[in-house]
């Protein structure tokens, strides 16, 4: 998390998102680009109507600049180099293009909507960015963040696969000591009478133990959880709700531009159903796949 793009819109939830980013731990200095997007609307109307629209646009620009200044102040004294920029265009597309331009490691956007129905609505800016960004994405739900003085409860969905291990390694790039509780959750969907006498359970428990051992290098509080469920996304969602989780971390396999338009993946399901923030990690899988292509097609980048 060295090159971060934070998108804000001047709203109170947006500034709460910025405050959450300010409290995230990191080992190395961070280059933080804070952007706000103003969308100029064009309509075929009378001169007077267009004049009103232009005045509204200029007011939006002025408000956005003030918001950028307020957010920049939140990072004063931190090990963060802050740049602010006002963008013009369609909001979601502008954020994704800026992430590509600056080669961001992480894009942070806020999400609004407190009810289950509002979380499931498609087409939101946060949903667009999470689906199309070329890097890891953190979608922050301010209403699910811990109050001052309360620990940050993090849940890592883990099963030992490449994307999950990549998510774990990306999580390890930050020091989570102090008031942070890391929960590693493994959901086993194959457990039934056929597997009752096999070593399947033992294999899963070894995966969890290995994940815990790695995370203990950066955290004082790591707890593992072994769940049996036929639906991974539903199991993670129930765990989040019953344990008061503030942040879910999920690994995702990089996909083609076409397949990013297809919905239904675990990360998409969790993003739309959990009441807390979601961090979808992609960077290390992308790096791994590149490494794999360079070295040998017979070797895997992550095991």
Boundary-marking domain end, from 89, 122, 145: 145
Q: How confident is the model at residue 297 (pLDDT cuts 50, 70, 90)?
A: very low
pLDDT score, position 178: 86
The predicted-structure confidence for 249-272, as pLDDT tens digits, reads as follows 999 865 554 444 444 478 888 998
What is the number of domains present in the chain? 2
Are both 104 and 209 inside the same structural domain? no
Cα end-to-end distance, the chain, whole Å: 23
* Mean of pLDDT values over 87-93: 92
Distances (CA, A) of 136 to 1, 109, 230, 237, 262: 9, 11, 27, 20, 18
Edge-to-edge strand list for the sheet holding 80-88: 80-88, 30-38, 3-8, 106-110, 136-140, 277-281, 247-251, 152-157, 180-188, 222-228
The predicted-structure confidence for 33-70, as pLDDT tens digits, reads as follows 999 999 876 655 555 567 777 888 888 899 999 999 99
Q: Tell me, what CATH number does 4's domain have? A: 3.40.50.620
Are both 135 and 171 inside the same structural domain? no
Nearest to 277 by CA among 250, 298, 238, 242: 250
The proportion of the chain whose per-residue pLDDT surpasses 70, expressed as a percent, equals: 79
Are both 241 and 132 inside the same structural domain? no
pLDDT score, position 43: 57
Are both 127 and 162 inside the same structural domain? no
Residue 280 sits at the vertex; the CA angle it makes with 274 and 284, to the nearest 5 degrees, is: 155
The pair of three-digit structure tokens given for residue 185, joined into one six-digit string: 């959750």
pLDDT score, position 107: 97
Give the residue numbers spanning the domain of 10: 1-145
CA distance 142 to 118: 15
The predicted-structure confidence for 144-179, as pLDDT tens digits, reads as follows 899 888 999 999 999 878 889 999 999 999 999 888
Q: Among 14-23, 65-74, 180-189, 196-205, whose mean pLDDT is lowest?
A: 196-205
Are both 106 and 89 inside the same structural domain? yes
> Considering Cα of 58, then 64, then 68, then 69, what sign does the dihedral take?
positive
pTM listed for this prediction: 0.85
Of residues 160 and 218, the one with the higher pLDDT is 218
Are both 105 and 200 inside the same structural domain? no
* Mean of pLDDT values over 208-230: 94
Pure H helices in 216-282: 232-243, 266-273
Q: Which of 12-16, 75-79, 105-109 has the highest mean pLDDT?
A: 105-109
Of residues 291 and 237, the one with the higher pLDDT is 237
Are both 153 and 183 inside the same structural domain? yes
pLDDT score, position 162: 86
Q: Which of 186-195, 261-270, 279-288 has the highest mean pLDDT?
A: 279-288
Are both 2 and 108 inside the same structural domain? yes
pLDDT score, position 115: 38
The proportion of the chain whose per-residue pLDDT surpasses 90, expressed as a percent, equals: 53
Are both 258 and 277 inside the same structural domain? yes
Boundary-marking domain end, from 90, 111, 145: 145
Are both 187 and 259 inside the same structural domain? yes
Of residues 191 and 135, the one with the higher pLDDT is 135
Boundary-marking domain end, from 145, 175, 192: 145
């Amino acid at each position: 998390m060295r090159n971060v793009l934070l998108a804000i819109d001047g709203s109170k939830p947006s500034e709460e998102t910025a405050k959450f980013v300010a409290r995230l731990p990191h080992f190395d200095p961070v280059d933080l680009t804070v952007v706000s997007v103003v969308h100029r609307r064009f309509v075929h109307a009378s001169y007077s109507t267009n004049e009103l629209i232009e005045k509204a646009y200029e007011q939006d620009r002025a408000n956005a600049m003030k918001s950028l200044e307020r957010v920049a102040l939140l990072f004063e004294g931190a090990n963060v180099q802050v740049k602010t920029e006002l963008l013009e265009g369609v909001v979601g597309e502008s954020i994704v293009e800026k992430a590509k331009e600056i080669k961001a490691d992480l894009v942070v956007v806020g999400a609004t909507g407190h009810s289950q129905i509002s979380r499931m609505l498609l087409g939101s800016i946060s949903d667009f960015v999470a689906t199309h960004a070329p890097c890891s994405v953190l979608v922050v739900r301010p209403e699910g963040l811990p109050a001052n003085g309360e620990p940050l409860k993090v849940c890592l969905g883990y099963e030992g696969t490449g994307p999950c291990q990549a998510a774990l390694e990306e999580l390890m790039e930050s020091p989570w000591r102090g008031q942070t509780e890391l929960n590693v959750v493994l959901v086993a969907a194959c457990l039934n009478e056929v597997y009752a006498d096999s070593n399947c359970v033992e294999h899963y428990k070894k995966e969890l133990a290995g994940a815990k051992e790695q995370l203990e290098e950066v955290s004082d509080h790591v707890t593992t959880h072994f769940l049996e469920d036929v639906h991974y996304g539903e199991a993670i969602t129930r765990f989040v709700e019953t344990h008061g989780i503030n942040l879910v971390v999920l690994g995702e396999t990089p996909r083609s531009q076409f397949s990013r338009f297809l919905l239904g993946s675990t990360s998409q399901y969790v993003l739309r159903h959990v009441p807390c923030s979601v961090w979808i990690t992609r960077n290390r899988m992308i790096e791994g796949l590149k490494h794999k292509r360079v070295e040998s097609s017979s070797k895997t980048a992550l095991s």
